[in-house]
Amino acid sequence: MNRYLLSVDVEDWFQVENLRSIYPINSWNNQELRIRRNIGLILEILGSRNTKGTFFILGWIAKKMPGLVKEIQAAGHEIASHGTNHESLKILNKRAFEEDIAESKTLLEDLTGNEVIGYRAPNFSITDWAIDALIEKGFRYDSSFFDFAKHDRYGSLKQYKAENAVSRLTENFHEIRISYLQFMNSRLPWGGGGYFRLYPYQLFKLGIRKIIKSESIYCFYIHPWEFDQSQPKVNGISRFNRFRHYNNLDKTKDRFRNLISSFDFEPLKSAL
Ligand SMILES: [Zn+2]
């Protein structure tokens, strides 16, 4: 059976790695929150097709806007954790990471009354010891492994083998990989986000069909700020990061609408 998995990483425009040098965590309280409107748009698009997905919500956002979490839950989507403060696992130690995931899990469970079983690492910076910590804290799956070594920010799994689109790492714990497209000898990142905005839409869709043919599972992700072409434009970041963050923001909404009507997406937990 083919499965199309849909995920939304719930963080606001100033919380992304590309802008981290301009907006350190201690400045977040002073920034304009634009996420409510952008999540509203995503919920409306998904609702129009009765599509459900998984929302990996940042603890910082859940604390600030508990009503938003409840709104996402009320619309029938899976609530999962994106950690608390969006700090890359490349800079956190295991102890700090444990605190970060425990805080976000408790927060989301208190708000929703449901167990939170899924996790996605900031910048896909997953690593073996983080999987150990997730298992210890009672998570049942991670979806952070972007097996695409060329990206400086992504993490990797070595002891844990996540060779399939969905891999059982232990008895009760799975890894749901972010999709890539095998093209000749290269792996092209094909999971969504900036790549969804970068590649021509029809080509992106063809790629999904190719992935489904070989793996039967496709895992897509997007961020609310990618729907927001009116977000504040920031100077003082590299041209490359500028491109990564702002490229084709005006196209996301129509492409996403089209994507949702082309494939029957489901929450990630349905692949376990
Ligand atoms: Zn994120």
In the chain, domain spans: 3-271
Q: Tell me how far the alpha carbon of residue 58 lies from the centroid of ligand 1, in angstroms.
A: 8
Per-residue confidence in pLDDT tens, the chain, 272 aa: 899 999 999 999 999 988 888 999 999 999 999 999 999 999 999 999 999 999 999 999 999 999 999 999 999 999 999 999 999 998 999 999 999 999 999 999 999 999 999 999 999 999 999 999 999 999 999 999 987 766 677 788 888 988 899 999 999 999 999 999 998 888 899 999 999 999 999 999 999 999 999 999 999 999 999 999 999 988 888 888 888 889 999 999 999 999 999 999 999 999 99
Task: Give the separation between CA 2 and CA 264, rounded to whole angstroms.
Answer: 10
Q: What is the pLDDT of residue 55?
A: 98
Total-model pTM? 0.96
What is the reported pLDDT for 150? 63
pLDDT of residue 98: 97
What confidence score (pLDDT) does residue 18 get?
84
Tokens of 122: 């900031």
**pLDDT value, residue 234:** 87
Cα(91) to ligand 1 centroid in Å equals 15
Q: Which phi-psi region, left, alpha or beta, contains residue 229 (left: φ > 0; alpha: ψ -120 to 50)?
A: alpha
Distance 59 CA to ligand 1 centre (A): 11
What is the 11 CA–ligand 1 centroid distance (Å)?
Answer: 6
Given a contact cutoff of 8 angstroms between Cβ atoms, the answer to whether 194 and 244 are in contact is: yes
Q: Which residues of 231-248 are buried (b: 16+ CB within 10 A; e: fewer)?
A: beebeebeeebbebbbeb
The pLDDT, as a whole number, for residue 149 is 63
Distance from the alpha carbon of residue 56 to the mean position of ligand 1, in angstroms: 8
Q: Which CATH superfamily is domain 3-271 in?
A: Glycoside hydrolase/deacetylase (3.20.20.370)
Which tokens belong to 169?
A: 């790492």
Are 197 and 226 contacting, i.e. CB atoms less than 8 angstroms apart?
yes
The structure tokens listed for 40 are 């509203």
pLDDT for position 184: 86
